[in-house]
Amino acid sequence: MKKAFGTPVPRYLPAVGLGLITLAFLVTGYTYPKDARAFPAAIAWTLLVLTGLDLIAVSDTAAGALIRRWFNPGLKTAEVSEPASRQACALLSLAAVALALVLLGIEITVPLYVFLSLRFGAGRSLVKSFVITAAVCAAMWLLFVFVLHLDLYQGYLLTR
């Protein structure tokens, strides 16, 4: 198998794919009026930086080892492979969140996702999951509704 910087080339493909999608999103965002593009552009630039860091971290280089050590001290090598079933579950859960965002909106989906991730993904207690979810909801409301004066997307099913 071909390698680039000591890592098999297919290992770079998810980050490259995400980077290309993000770049398309960024280019599209810059076609919006200045006020409308501020948030999408900030998200896209942040995601491009994180994708770049991921590309470096995947490599079997000194820079890759440094990034892995900073962001994930338990990870020693660039070669990490989760079982296909776990990867499929992660992909399906992200697809479910995206669908829920469209159908149910932000105010329902984000708290539900945070709670389920903490409770079942991270194995946190019921009380701790609830408290953290409540804090995230409060912070989300304060930032978007109170500080930025933005209406949170209500979802397709709730706006009909």
* Euclidean distance between CA atoms 112 and 22, whole angstroms: 25
Average confidence (pLDDT) over 16-23: 89
Strand, coil or helix: what is 4? strand
Confidence of residue 13 (pLDDT cuts 50, 70, 90): confident
Predicted pLDDT at 49? 92
CB 77 within 8 A of CB 67: no
Q: What letter represents residue 107's amino acid? A: E
What are the pLDDT digits (tens) for 93-111? 888 998 998 899 888 999 9
pLDDT value for 86: 78
Structure-token match 């071909």, residue found: 2
CA distance 146 to 89: 36
